[in-house]
Amino acid sequence: MKPLKKPKIGLAGVMCTPFRGNKEENYLSHQAALEELAIAYDFDFFAVSDGIYSAVQAAEAAKKLDDWGADFVILQASSFAGGDFIYPFAELSALLGIWAVPEGAPGPGGGLPLNSFTAANLYNSILRTNLTGYRKPVKWFFGNPGQALFDERLRITVQALRALINLRGARVGLVGGVAPGFDNLIIDEQKLKERLGISVVNIAFEEALQRSQQVSVDAASSIASEIRSSAAEFDTGLEGALQKTGSTTVAMYDLADKYNLQALAISCWPRFQSENHLAVCTMMGYLNTQGLIAACEGDIPSAVSMLALRGLTNADVITLMDLVTVDPNDESVLFWHCGPTSPALADHRGARLESLWLFDQPGREPIGLHNDLVLKPGLATVLGFTTDFERMLIIDGQMDPAKPSYTGSRGWMKSLRLNQQSVSVPELIQTLMVSGFQHHYPFAYGSIADSGLELCAWLGISAISKEQYTPYVR
């Protein structure tokens, strides 16, 4: 798969002569420090090298950053400067951050050396009050690179920007339509295009099936061998299903290449079973391992959410779960799906490739394959757009692989939080039911709830807020 696009972050520094602190020296040292952070956080960086002392220079600097194609511009108030310096930066298509720096030692006679925070305050206020047409959020920064307050805020912004720029212009293939009866996953494709800039390509099941039947034995066997080697166990008698999994995987790659797709929403049942005697769960896990997002049951909102998670995590492996039960006794919830999760997310026991018991019938050849595994321990995040792409659900917690569960891809999540705030099981149920959130939960490991919330801000959507539990209906 193609690598993720890197965010392009630009820097400019405004200053004025009366404040005599080490503004130019500070600005140059901060440029060098951000070049190092660009490597650590994986973004492209460009700085306007000289300090800005006039509105004309501000306009020239803004044009340089725009010509470079900046996604995000940090305007450093290297010292106090004129209020009109902000206006050229407000006209950029790039998102904007305002950076105030520490004052340092007093100047001669005890004078204020920079007055930086006042300038940052001034610029932010102009953007939010005078420029009534400026509707975008503004991210504030304070401190020096290397300090926790600055570095954490920048890291979160880079993660959110990476998701944002990789969502724009993405193309999702809907293979075989939405699974029967899952009407809550049907979307307005035009609204998705207008809201997030994402296009949907509708692909008939027949095209996918025909392509899989035309795949060479060698190509299918190569993928099948990779899949087999990724698993700790493989049930005997399923070699035919493994070979079909290989050929169907190649077909999905071909479709992604043909239509320039970054994600697939695949109607994984019932036609793959009835017309090809195949469960494609293991294939879904393999595609997600390789970075081609694959969502179950024709779920476009989850495919889009998984694309966002891939950006937020910088290309970690993503999966899609159901929330199948809860345990109020230890405040945990069980995420489970029939077996589409990558073996890369399994605990120390690894994955077992099996037939899918949901489709097996007495006296008939078993239908494979699915990945039976328990999710590894660690902090994990669930992040999903609603089907109108106006809201986002963000849950995180600790995975507990020791607690018993059910065959499939699964894991219990404890220490639950919603929008980084503790949430009880009854409150979470109340929130899910009142909000009408759909029954699929895109899942990734890592601490990314904060960057998910920032992504909401940049997109102009809201995070689903906690509903107070009540024993009566409302």
Same-domain status, 90 and 113? yes
Q: Compute the average pLDDT of residues 291-299.
A: 98
Residue range of the domain that includes 14: 8-161
Same-domain status, 178 and 58? no
Residue 474 forms part of a structural domain: no
Same-domain status, 152 and 187? no
Predicted local confidence at residue 209, as pLDDT:
98
Q: Are 286 and 227 in contact (CB under 8 A)?
A: yes
Domain-terminating residue out of 139, 161, 183: 161
What's the CA gap between 307 and 316, in Å, rounded? 11
| Partners of residue 368 on adjacent β-strands | 355
Q: Compute the average pLDDT of residues 56-84.
A: 98
Angle at which helix 217-230 crosses helix 281-290, to 10 degrees, equals: 80
* Burial of 206 per CB tally in 10 Å (0-12, 13-18, 19+): exposed
- The whole model's pTM is what? 0.97
Q: Compute the average pLDDT of residues 108-127.
A: 94
pLDDT at 110 over 90: no
Predicted local confidence at residue 106, as pLDDT:
86
Same-domain status, 232 and 135? no
pLDDT digits (tens, 9 = 90+) for 95-106: 999 999 999 888
- The pair of three-digit structure tokens given for residue 320, joined into one six-digit string: 């899609």
pLDDT at 194 over 90: yes
What's the CA gap between 1 and 251, in Å, rounded? 14
Instruction: Tell me which residue of 394, 397, 382, 395 sits closest to 459, measured CA to CA.
Output: 394
pLDDT digits (tens, 9 = 90+) for 219-241: 999 999 999 999 999 998 999 99
Same-domain status, 90 and 217? no
Same-domain status, 82 and 196? no
pLDDT digits (tens, 9 = 90+) for 428-449: 999 999 999 999 999 999 999 9
Same-domain status, 252 and 397? yes
pLDDT at 82 over 80: yes
**CATH code assigned at 24:** 3.40.50.10940
pLDDT band per the 50, 70, 90 thresholds, residue 2: confident
pLDDT band per the 50, 70, 90 thresholds, residue 362: confident
pLDDT band per the 50, 70, 90 thresholds, residue 474: confident
Q: Compute the average pLDDT of residues 167-187.
A: 98
Residue 473 forms part of a structural domain: no
Work out the mean pLDDT of the chain and round it to a whole number.
Answer: 97
pLDDT at 364 over 90: no
201 φ, ψ to 5°? -110, 120
